[in-house]
Structure 1
Amino acid sequence: MVLNLANKGNLDSPLIVWNRSPKRAEALGDLKVHVAASLEEAISKADIVFSCLSNDEAIKSVYEAALKIPGGVKGKIFAECSTIHPDTTRELEKMTKEAGAVFVAAPVFGAPAAAIAGALVFVVAGSKAGIEKISPYLQGVMGRLVIDLSDDPDVGKALILKVTGNTIILGMVEALSEGHVLAEKSGLGTENFEKFITALFGASPYLPYSKRLTTGDYVREEPLFGVDLAAKDARHALSLAKASGTTMPITEIAAQNLAAVKEELGASGDIASIYGVMRKKAGLPFIEKK
């Protein structure tokens, strides 16, 4: 997101960047960015603040600090892109408004490769004026599409869509993992099963995820969709389902398998590592040594 915003955002001045892990921000030194020494510096110099953090606790702690900087934040626009519980988003909106600033919920769909390619899908809700201000930096810069939910006054709806949408990815990985294991155990072979995936779903995320399984890329040093993030999304979805009086059996099963991934691989586990869990349940090694 930073890469595309800095290079394609037509900014009048360098993009201000702050990260809780300073080394990550410093690694952007070759871009047209200014790495802020503190959160206070970053917020005080910005008119629009995009934020994207790993979980609800992290984003709440950052907002609590950001909204209390000396000089205040009146009139600033806060666009929040994290995948968090809808109730957390509603809380952030309330805090932001009380501080005199403008809040926009703007969660994104897309893997790291989509972010690098500027192909994210944004879901926006909240202040229409705020959305209008950030729009030049969304479609065509950081994203390829914007889903606008601003006609609904509830900013939480953007996160309901985001969390529910992520269960589709989780269910897809679960189904692919089950299918590939059955193909191997039944003698059909994963290559033949992948031919079917290619024929029917080649233009969708199914094929890239399938290839991650068949090439062994479901175990890696740096996860593409970390197990902790995937498990957090599943918890949020199941919480929403319970509060709404419904159930999500596929998500429940996938959540159990994510817990097994965490036990097997720790924090380096990936959502695609569910395949290893399914293999192990079937009497196959977690990962096939090539």
Structure 2
Amino acid sequence: MKLYQLFLPWLVALGAVAAQLQVSKKPDASASPQQSSIGYQYSTLLTSMIRQPDLGLPNTATVHPDTTDKLAKTINDQGAEFVACPVFGAPAMADAGQLVCVLAGPAEAVDKVKPYTTGVMGRANIDYSGEPHGSATRLKIIGNTFILNMVETLSEGHTLAEKSGLGSDRLHQFIETMFPGPYTAYSNRLRQGDYYKREEPLFAVDLARKDAGHALALAKTHGVRMKDVEVADQHLAQVQKHMGTKGDIAGIYGAVRQEADLKFEN
């Protein structure tokens, strides 16, 4: 399996393609409905590029589980192997090799990917070897709602702390004492204004809304209502309106502030 030479370039390329196809809002007007579909574009891309046997393609993109399974079938039909490998972690964590990698697909194929995860690009694996490829992206989508809800909770808390006279700094003392780690990191992003000062978003609002949309669609399919995600997505829409493509998921804080008659920027 020629995974070892091709893992990293395909990891980047397929992840980028998946993200682009998912968030694109300007489909080719001349294309047929079939040609405009993600499945068709993946199939065309892969059919034209996968022409050698014993090829292995991992993918880190956050896409709907159904898309993951269709992509796996397309690749398998071309005689190559596919491993779903979405990751949890910001770009800085990727640079430091601290991502959490979620692996799914045939156990033999997953085993060939693992040397490039723990100790290289990640600090830990969540291993779904032998399970359908969509299992990995299903966890990724549900897991991302925890991040979304965390930012929503922090945003509402900091806004109320300011409006009630407690103050953001005092609330932050509680957060860093009780919830060290991501909660404290995001709390700092809010109170220090990082949510609107960055030149490039850490977690782009367009991608955050894409992920929220996947979660809501998945929930609807299975008869679940995720009201917290619905509220957060409404706030993300406000962030898009206020900041455009520079908007960050942490901008939810600005949207909550506006609802409380405060300025978006703290």
The TM-score with structure 2 as length reference comes to 0.87
Give me the whole-angstrom Cα distance separating, in 2, the residues matched to 1:277 and 1:240.
26
Structure 2: distance between partners of 1:240 and 1:225: 21
Structure 2 residue 212 is the aligned partner of structure 1 residue 249: no
Alignment correspondent of 2:29 = none
1:74 CA displacement:
2.2
Alignment of 1:141 onto 2:120: yes
Q: Say if 1:75 and 1:100, in contact at 8 Å, map to a contact too.
A: yes
**CA distance, structure 2, for counterparts of residue 207 and residue 167 of structure 1:** 18
Structure with the bigger RCO (C-alpha within 8 Å, sep 6+) is 2
Aligned to 2:14: 51
**3-state secondary structure, aligned to 1:67:** helix
Q: Which residue of 1 aligns with 2:206?
A: 228
Deviation at 1:97, TM superposition (A): 0.7
In the aligned structure 1, how far is the partner of 2:70 from the partner of 2:259?
Answer: 41
Residues 1-290 of structure 1: matches in 2 within 5 Å? 17=9, 51-53=14-16, 55=19, 57=21, 61=41, 64-69=44-49, 72-152=51-131, 154-202=132-180, 204-219=181-196, 220-288=198-266
Deviation at 1:57, TM superposition (A): 2.0
What is the root-mean-square deviation of aligned Cα atoms in Å?
A: 2.2
Name the structure where helix makes up a greater proportion of residues: 2
Q: Say which SS state the counterpart of residue 206 (structure 2) adopts.
A: helix
SS at match of 1:82: coil
CA contact (8 A) 1:106 1:124 kept: yes
Secondary structure in 2 aligned to 1:125? strand
Which one-letter code corresponds to 2:210 in the other structure? Answer: K
> How much does 1:129 deviate?
1.5
Unpaired runs of 5+ residues, structure 2, are 23-37
Task: Tell me the SS of whatever aligns to 2:215.
Answer: helix
Determine what percentage of the aligned residue pairs are the same residue: 48
Report how many aligned residue pairs link the two structures.
246
For the residue of structure 1 that corresponds to 2:62, the secondary structure is coil
Query: After superposition, what is the alpha-carbon deviation per residue over 1:23-54, rounded to whole angstroms, capped at 9, x for unaligned?
Result: xxxxxxxxxxxxxxxxxxxx7xxxx9873225
Give, in whole Å, the separation in 2 of the partners of 1:174 and 1:78: 35
2:138 and 2:6 map into 1 onto residues whose CA distance is 34
CA drift at 1:257: 0.5
What is the identity, as a one-letter code, of the residue corresponding to 2:85?
A: A
Q: Secondary structure at the match of 1:75?
A: coil
